Amino acid sequence: MQKTVKVRVGGQKWNKVINKWFADPKHYLVHDPNSSLRTGDVVSIVPGWPTSKHKRHVIKNIIAPFGTPVEERPPIPTLEERIAEREAKRATKVERRMKAKEEQKQ
């Protein structure tokens, strides 16, 4: 899948029998709008609107890049930019549907 990365988020789980915490990481499919991440990057993610069946989070920023410096990669869009893009796509969709509805009436 393009523009999608698999992110591991650390966590712990308590074992009642042994009385000990064990590592229990969770994996999320995260939307990367400009494909700016590389394998090994440490990133922060935020919840976002669903972009596909399994993607519910979006990249917020790159904390520690691995390999290529952040300056040489495509920028990660801010929340305002993502909202503006979503509203623009929605407006074109509504316009397209209204146009199709008018053509259907004629």
Homologous superfamily in CATH for domain 1-74: Nucleic acid-binding proteins (2.40.50.140)
> What pLDDT digit, counting tens, does each position of 20-46 carry?
999 999 999 999 999 899 999 999 999
**Percent of the chain beyond pLDDT 70?**
100
pLDDT at site 18: 97
Q: Is the pTM of this model over 0.85?
A: no
Q: pLDDT tens for the chain, 106 residues: list them.
A: 789 999 999 999 999 999 999 999 999 999 999 989 999 999 999 998 898 999 999 999 999 999 899 999 999 999 999 999 999 999 999 999 999 999 998 7
DSSP letters of 3-48? TEEEEEE--EEEETTTTEEEE--EEEEEE-TT----TT-EEEEEE-
